Structure 1
Amino acid sequence: MDPANPASFNHRTELLSTGRRYHFVDQLPTNYDPATTKTIVCIHGFPDLWYGWRYQIKPWVDLGYRVVAPDKLGYGGTEKPEDAIHYTSRRISDDIAALMDLLQISKAVIIGHDWGCFMVSRFALWHPDRLLALVLLSVPYVPPSKEYISLEQMVERFPNWGYQLHFREKSTNAEIEKHLSKFFRLIYRRRKNKNSPLRKWTLPGGLTEVLNSNAILNDTGFLTQQEFDYYMSQFNENMNGPLNYYRTTHYRFQEEKDGGLMPAPRADLPVLLVVGKDDPTANQGALEVTRKLIPQVKIELIDGVGHWVMVECKDHINESIPRFLQNTLSSNVHTKL
């Protein structure tokens, strides 16, 4: 399991009971025992892959956990339906449950980052009995809304979400594919200059301006050149699926309304939220909402770290999450921490 070599991981592609074919990495510890080994299921965000967990898989397997990391629907080697209705949180949650069924895992530790964070928080509502613990990376908990709030209304409240209006448009597929290298350099860049004109890509209309500008992004940011090349190979002419998640706002609201979801995960579920202090996604108000709705949550704020916590502070993530699990789960997993 070499992070620099994607082929060194154990890859599988299987048809789930939901009718969708998923690619995933399934890594077993040397002392694997289906009766006692705990499984960690890792759900990535945008724009990412199973590969987003490359620095976590081996350390956690070495601690005795089974680690499963799928490409979400629309990504990498997983099926890529054309229509956005297939990408709702209920359907993705059902896919996660079906993947666990396929692997004969009744309950697991479920971890998500970015969009994956939102999906696993909904998995905790749609399939509450399938979790041993819930770990949220970078994105605080957002409860189901009692009333429909359009994306336009959300952007009025939070202008930095303006890029989501852009992502919602089908024309964005071709625009990003045309500038794919620049887009990934922009997304994974190191944000040292808070006044950089590149920061305005999050504002309404800003992404088109940045992608079509003469702004030069020479380095690959948090990615090594090998990692960057792998991402390029996986996303070439393949942005419709990833962007479809931004086209599900009304579908998700209707599902949650019809499903009568609870406002928060079950009260006895161990929950950890890890956030980089330099990540604009997690403001103080959002953290307070999480604390109010999930009183048992443990929140870790990491100085000098932004959005890509699995890479930016990989050692902290690799050690902190198993420590949290060790402290909250009665487990037969022997760890080195």
Structure 2
Amino acid sequence: MNKIQHSTIPTNGINIHVASIGSGPAVLFLHGFPELWYSWRHQLLFLASKGFRAIAPDLRGFGDSDVLPSPSSYTPHHIVGDLIGLLDHLGIDQVFLVGHDWGAMMAWYFCLFRPDRVKALVNLSVHYTPRNPSISPLAGVRLLLGDNFYFCKFQEPGVAEADFGSVDTATMMKKFLTMRDPSPPIIPNGFKTLATPETLPPWLTEEDIDYFASKFGKTGFTGGFNYYRATDLSWELTGPWTGAQIKVPTKFIVGDLDMVYHLPGAKEYIHGGGFKKKVPLLEEVVVIEGAAHFINQEKAYDISSLIYDFIKKF
């Protein structure tokens, strides 16, 4: 099988770095924070071996893609615009869409804005949360989890950057990627206080850490933080989609140790019927035991197989 190929594609006024491999029906992978296309390295090779064209960009603000300084440049309108332009540039009409973390959030928005471009969706870790017209997301998070919740700590420019810059980039990546505490992270003293693992878990190598660190060492983390900082602006701009459903065939996968799965009310919503009402073509929810948040890396073969088993039906 050919090696993963890398290219830079102009789209939506910026340049996006793209990793891709294989030929056949296209699968578009969207990463989260603090991650890169590299988070999908296992899935790219697996899906390509099964006859698919696997494509994973560095989303704007990450890796070798353009990093824009203003949080107002990171709404779902911008991100989905980048992806539509990317597909148009590649001559792809429809894709299978796969997202994780912020990539999952953007995948939900992609399906909301342009369901005509999506054959089916597999989303990891972050379930679809419908827009609440009566309270902004940030105000809701502060009310529910307080000012020391990490989402809130990321809001003020410079503060989170200083926190993440308090240790070397490789150490911060080790701290972040190996978090396994399922309780929502209430972090009054910053992420630098997280324990650094003495040894890496089997699914994560020093080479992996070096790759992440080399990229974030150049760009910093501001691009990623800007997704959090654009949350309320995104809420304002998505008013026209209040009450809208996600109407593409969907599979949702989450680890039972994922902190998002343990947010107040999340399990009840996911399993109690609320999720299905908002995503009526939701075909399956898979909960993987012993898996935490970075599930596509931690349980790479399982996730690759679950994605393949779903999309091969279409």
Question: C-alpha offsets along residues 59-95 of structure 1, whole Å, 9 cap, x if unaligned?
Answer: 1001110011000100000000100011111110111
Higher mean alpha-carbon deviation, 170-179 vs 44-53, is at 170-179
1:301 and 2:312 are equivalent in the alignment: no
1:304 partner amino acid = G
Matches within 5 A, 1:104-143: 104-143=91-130
1:139 Cα deviation after fit? 1.0
Aligned-residue identity in percent:
27
1:156 Cα deviation after fit? 2.6
Contact 2:164–2:192, Cα closer than 8 Å, also in 1? no
Matches within 5 A, 1:211-222: 215-221=195-201, 222=203
Question: C-alpha offsets along residues 240-286 of structure 1, whole Å, 9 cap, x if unaligned?
Answer: 101111101221011101x44552212xx210001111112123134
Residue of structure 2 in register with 1:226 after alignment: 207
The 1:10/1:20 distance shift into structure 2, 3 A limit, reads same
Which of residues 264, 273, 276 in structure 1 aligns to 2:245?
264
1:204 Cα deviation after fit? 4.6
When Rg is computed on C-alpha atoms for both structures, the one with the higher figure is 1
Once residues 160 and 114 of structure 1 are traced to their aligned partners in structure 2, the CA distance between those partners, rounded to angstroms, is: 21
The 1:170/1:124 distance shift into structure 2, 3 A limit, reads same
The 1:210/1:13 distance shift into structure 2, 3 A limit, reads same
Matches within 5 A, 1:52-71: 52-71=39-58
1:209 Cα deviation after fit? 6.5
Residue of structure 2 in register with 1:333 after alignment: none
1:114 Cα deviation after fit? 0.4
Contact 2:22–2:49, Cα closer than 8 Å, also in 1? no
1:203 partner amino acid = I
Residue of structure 2 in register with 1:241 after alignment: 223
1:313 and 2:299 are equivalent in the alignment: yes
Residue of structure 2 in register with 1:182 after alignment: 171
The 1:182/1:169 distance shift into structure 2, 3 A limit, reads farther
Residue of structure 2 in register with 1:99 after alignment: 86
Residue of structure 2 in register with 1:9 after alignment: 4
Residue of structure 1 in register with 2:276 after alignment: 291
Give the root-mean-square deviation of aligned CA atoms: 2.2
2:236 partner amino acid = Q
- Equivalent residue of 1:236, what SS? helix
The 1:45/1:294 distance shift into structure 2, 3 A limit, reads same
Structure 2 spans left out of the alignment, 5+ residues = none
Which of residues 198, 205, 213 in structure 1 aligns to 2:188?
205
1:27 and 2:7 are equivalent in the alignment: no
Question: Under a length normalisation based on structure 2, what TM-score does the superposition of the two structures give?
Answer: 0.89
Once residues 209 and 38 of structure 1 are traced to their aligned partners in structure 2, the CA distance between those partners, rounded to angstroms, is: 42
1:206 Cα deviation after fit? 3.9
Higher mean alpha-carbon deviation, 162-171 vs 111-120, is at 162-171
Structure 1 spans left out of the alignment, 5+ residues = 3-7, 30-36, 330-337
Contact 1:121–1:265, Cα closer than 8 Å, also in 2? yes
1:236 partner amino acid = G
Contact 1:112–1:136, Cα closer than 8 Å, also in 2? yes
1:278 and 2:254 are equivalent in the alignment: no
The 1:161/1:274 distance shift into structure 2, 3 A limit, reads farther
1:186 Cα deviation after fit? 1.6
1:291 Cα deviation after fit? 2.1
- Equivalent residue of 1:281, what SS? helix
The 1:150/1:326 distance shift into structure 2, 3 A limit, reads closer
Once residues 208 and 53 of structure 1 are traced to their aligned partners in structure 2, the CA distance between those partners, rounded to angstroms, is: 24
Q: Which runs of 4+ in 1 moved over 4 A?
A: none
The 1:156/1:206 distance shift into structure 2, 3 A limit, reads farther
Which of residues 29, 44, 47 in structure 2 aligns to 1:42?
29
The 1:186/1:208 distance shift into structure 2, 3 A limit, reads closer
- Equivalent residue of 1:318, what SS? helix
Matches within 5 A, 1:160-171: 162-171=149-158
The 1:146/1:153 distance shift into structure 2, 3 A limit, reads closer
1:12 partner amino acid = S
The 1:161/1:125 distance shift into structure 2, 3 A limit, reads farther
Contact 2:170–2:210, Cα closer than 8 Å, also in 1? no
Question: C-alpha offsets along residues 179-237 of structure 1, whole Å, 9 cap, x if unaligned?
Answer: 2333212211263x77xxxx78x2152425616xxx55433444200100111101015
Contact 1:81–1:241, Cα closer than 8 Å, also in 2? yes
1:150 Cα deviation after fit? 4.6
Once residues 233 and 209 of structure 1 are traced to their aligned partners in structure 2, the CA distance between those partners, rounded to angstroms, is: 19
- Equivalent residue of 2:238, what SS? helix
